[in-house]
Chains A and B, each alone.
Chain A
């Protein structure tokens, strides 16, 4: 079974050639505010910070610092691990929700979508902060567990651990996973599933062979979004991670907010961006980034 559009020939593109021009405003915007500033960051990563401001002499000092000090690389490795675990958790826990939403219709669907969006219209900052009163020593979870007699003393590990960071990231980023999966499931032709059933495939088999493959664009898109957001996480590890919480985003932030070493922050940022890009290439089977993001395109 293939996507309906995959059989389309390329021969018919001539009539709307001008349509390609529609991409221009967005492209210009992205170059002006995406490429150019990043290029500027790259340049700055070869500068150095002095007490009186920036020295613009070209030097590899920042990169030498990063690669000669195991601290930065260790945190980078940890950050990638946390991001990977978070992405996996988020994917596994979010997919059924997206699937559930697709099965609804009419008012029920509208209400559930609204219920899904509503918490995300409060604020990321508050929703992260809320895990403190939820999971703290005197928090809701510990209080309830103690009242029920399940535990005698508060569980310290609920808060300020790497697990808390996973939880916090899942909580604030699950929408980024659910929405693309939902959108790709929603435009999936239900008759394909029925056809599979008619051909004797059990529902589980039909899911694995038809539904899941056809929702892969959404899955990949969601997974990549969550992975990237987790790689750059700052607020969550800052508020919830405790001593186990330092991630690469915090180290970069420290260069701007605490230690005023912008060029080192720039070099660290470039490193992270490069690692993420390399990771994307490695994940994509054919090493084509765009296929990951609009997966399913033939």
Chain B
């Protein structure tokens, strides 16, 4: 049988590999044998950037638990996870776009909620939610189910070395659609956001109401302008990377991308389009079968507290829904971060839920496959 084995045998090989393996294992063992994680954990789905840097420690100290954040995909992914069979028992805390999640998680009638009412005593900071976001606190029958914890906006992000800043063209949604930066533009793979932006660019005052023929016009417009774009990004990091590597000079962008790039010294900023930035808030809610509701409430409470609210913008670019968030921020910073949205000095348009969402999605599929 001897000859049957030549496939893997070799006299010298074994000793040679053994020595290498032994050295490798010896070098790697101390590191691999590190301590196991603490047992108590709060399972969370949220934009991971909003728990970056010092923020995680703030929330873990306040709640006494270890936060386990699953990889973020999108708001609709959060809804998918929650509405999946058994989904209401898999996570302790979810944070996603308020306008989008409201209907599906609250259900059509009282009692059909997929989330648990929150204990107001555990969230003493609820009173600190600023006036502008009180409407995003979702109650039913006097019980609170959802609390807005941070907010943000989408805009055109651009490389200031390639795109002039004080330029009417730049300060609009036009750079994403017109020929000027052809081949150096990136869109976002999201039906809702892209059709809203194109709608604003085409002069629709309430693009969220687009449907029928008007919607078709916008879709046709996007298909016609698709020739100008380099790619369509689908994750924050992809967008970040596109700008950082010089692959594109402007893109449809969420604000954590700008924050990340600026922190690292890239010459990138966001436009303040004359049609308005697209604004939204993210709300926190606790799935009804969570075993950790108390700790989750503590996290929500901490997110509205001074430690978190005061740092979230510098870490992630998102802005706090708590009045604590603006206390230590200068007037210049307020303007640069986007707080002008709240006092009306910065034009914005709510990223409202479009009633014809199914047709928007179908239209966007046509754009992508055109």
| Interface of A toward B, CB cutoff 8 Å | 51-54, 69, 71-72, 74-75, 78, 105-107, 109-110, 132-133, 136-138, 156, 159-160, 186, 238-239, 242-243, 245-246, 251, 254, 256-262
* Bound form: Cα–Cα A71–B365 in Å: 7
Our pick among B8, B190, B245, B246 for the contact of A110 (Cβ within 8 Å) is B8
Known: A74-B369, A137-B245, A186-B7. Contact between A156 and B230, CB under 8 A?
A: yes
Contacts of A245 on B, CB cut-off 8 Å?
231
* Bound form: Cα–Cα A258–B13 in Å: 51
Our pick among B12, B77, B83 for the contact of A107 (Cβ within 8 Å) is B12
Our pick among B13, B80, B83, B245 for the contact of A106 (Cβ within 8 Å) is B13
Task: Determine which residue in B189, B190, B226 has the highest number of CB atoms from chain A within 10 A of its CB, and name it.
Answer: B189
Contacts of A75 on B, CB cut-off 8 Å?
369
Contact call B362/A258, Cβ cutoff below 8 A? no
Contact call A262/B80, Cβ cutoff below 8 A? yes
* Bound form: Cα–Cα A87–B80 in Å: 34
Contacts of B232 on A, CB cut-off 8 Å?
242-243
* Bound form: Cα–Cα A186–B230 in Å: 45
Contact call B245/A69, Cβ cutoff below 8 A? no
* Bound form: Cα–Cα A242–B369 in Å: 11
Nearest opposing residue in chain B for A239, CB measure:
B238
B76 interface residue per 8 A CB criterion: yes
Contacts of B80 on A, CB cut-off 8 Å?
256-257, 260, 262
Question: What are 27 A-B contacts defined by CB distance under 8 Å?
Answer: A51-B104, A52-B104, A52-B107, A52-B108, A52-B112, A53-B104, A71-B369, A106-B9, A106-B10, A107-B13, A107-B16, A109-B7, A132-B241, A132-B245, A132-B247, A138-B247, A160-B230, A238-B234, A245-B231, A246-B368, A251-B365, A256-B77, A257-B73, A257-B77, A258-B77, A260-B76, A261-B361
* Bound form: Cα–Cα A106–B10 in Å: 5
| Chain B residues touching A, range | 35 or more
| Interface of B toward A, CB cutoff 8 Å | 6-10, 12-13, 16-17, 73-74, 76-77, 79-80, 83, 103-104, 107-108, 112, 183, 189-191, 226, 229-232, 234, 238, 241, 245-247, 361-362, 365-366, 368-369
Other than the given A53-B104, A260-B77, 18 more pairs (CB < 8 A) read A52-B103, A52-B112, A78-B369, A106-B9, A106-B13, A107-B10, A107-B13, A109-B7, A132-B245, A138-B246, A160-B231, A186-B7, A243-B231, A257-B76, A259-B76, A259-B191, A259-B361, A260-B79
Contact call A243/B226, Cβ cutoff below 8 A? yes
Contact call A138/B245, Cβ cutoff below 8 A? yes
The smallest C-beta distance from A138 to any residue of chain B, in angstroms, reads: 5
Contacts of A69 on B, CB cut-off 8 Å?
362
Nearest opposing residue in chain A for B227, CB measure:
A243
Contact call B190/A258, Cβ cutoff below 8 A? yes
Contacts of B189 on A, CB cut-off 8 Å?
258
